Amino acid sequence: MTQTVIGVLPLYDTQLDSIWMLPDYINALVDHGACPIILPYTDKKDVLEQICSYCDGFLFTGGQDVSPKLYNEQKADYCGECLDILDNLSVTVYNHAILKKKTILGICRGLQFINVMQGGTLYQDIVSQGKSEINHHQEKPYCTPSHNVTLVDNSYLSYLFEISNIKVNSIHHQSIKDLGKDLMINGISQDGIIEAVSSTTHPYMVAVQWHPEYDYKYNDKSSLLLKDFVKKTQILKNTI
């Protein structure tokens, strides 16, 4: 059987002017049977479309903040670094995945970006905007849990995990404010932060605010999420 190819959104270091990747993302996909490809840091649509055509699904990773102009807001002082090229390439990849009905898994920034693409908005900084009562930016090691998330009844992740509460790690300063169209909340933290969503219309689009790539070796739910993503990608690949 041909391995499932997952296109991974790149990370970018502006100080070094270089593309890079945390090995945890790649290792997590390889360990769950996928063949990951790091997408190029470019917003040239013809280049991205050709590479995306080779991919069966896409992992939208963490990284710099999503530009507030994508959800019609002015950038506040407490918003972090934004990169137009990263946003533009993410838009192209996302639109390809939606059009071709390919799987999407969002992690951290990935969840926030998906929400914006569906017409939602973000808190540019949950502390500055008074939306956080717990620590959402833990210290290392990131494989240890930081806080609890309550799973919403009848949501995708509640069925997948077969429990009502999970412990997650947490490394973010932004979060969903207004939920995007055709998204269902799957998980909420104690202070009301939306921690997980799924699409009600796309064949497979799931996104979480936490980082399963850091703790999948110690957390069976994180491993199950990654396994499910790769499995569903393989199934859709064979039906499209």
Q: Which of 32, 52, 79, 213 is catalytic?
A: 213
Q: How large is the average pLDDT for residues 11-15?
A: 96
Return the minimum-mean-pLDDT range out of 51-65, 76-90, 124-138, 189-203: 124-138
Q: Which of 136, 147, 172, 211 is catalytic?
A: 211
Percentage of residues in the chain with pLDDT exceeding 90?
Answer: 95
Q: Which of 52, 55, 79, 108 is catalytic?
A: 108
Q: How large is the average pLDDT for residues 33-42?
A: 98
pLDDT tens for each residue of 68-115: 999 999 999 999 999 999 999 999 999 999 999 999 999 999 999 999
Q: How many Cβ atoms sit within 10 Å of the Cβ of residue 169?
A: 21
Q: How far is CA 169 from CA 35, 83, 197, in A?
A: 25, 25, 17
Which stretch of DSSP H or E encloses residue 85? helix 84-100
The pLDDT value recorded for residue 2 is 79
What mean pLDDT value characterizes the chain?
97
- 108 tagged catalytic: yes
User: Which CATH fold would you assign to the domain 4-237?
Assistant: Rossmann fold (3.40.50)
**Minimal CA–CA distance to 124: which of 171, 85, 180, 81?**
81
Cβ(138)–Cβ(169) under 8 Å? yes
The pLDDT value recorded for residue 1 is 57
pLDDT tens for each residue of 169-216: 999 999 999 999 999 999 999 999 999 999 999 999 999 999 999 999
Residue written as token pair 């593309």: 19
The answer to whether the pTM exceeds 0.95 is yes
Categorize the per-residue pLDDT at 239 as very low, low, confident or very high, splitting at 50, 70 and 90.
confident
Q: What is the spatial distance between Cα 110 and Cα 25, in angstroms, rounded to a whole number?
A: 13
- 211 tagged catalytic: yes
Categorize the per-residue pLDDT at 132 as very low, low, confident or very high, splitting at 50, 70 and 90.
confident
Kindly tell me the number of DSSP H helices and DSSP E strands found in the chain. 7, 13
Angle at 6 between CA 166 and CA 99, to 5 degrees: 95
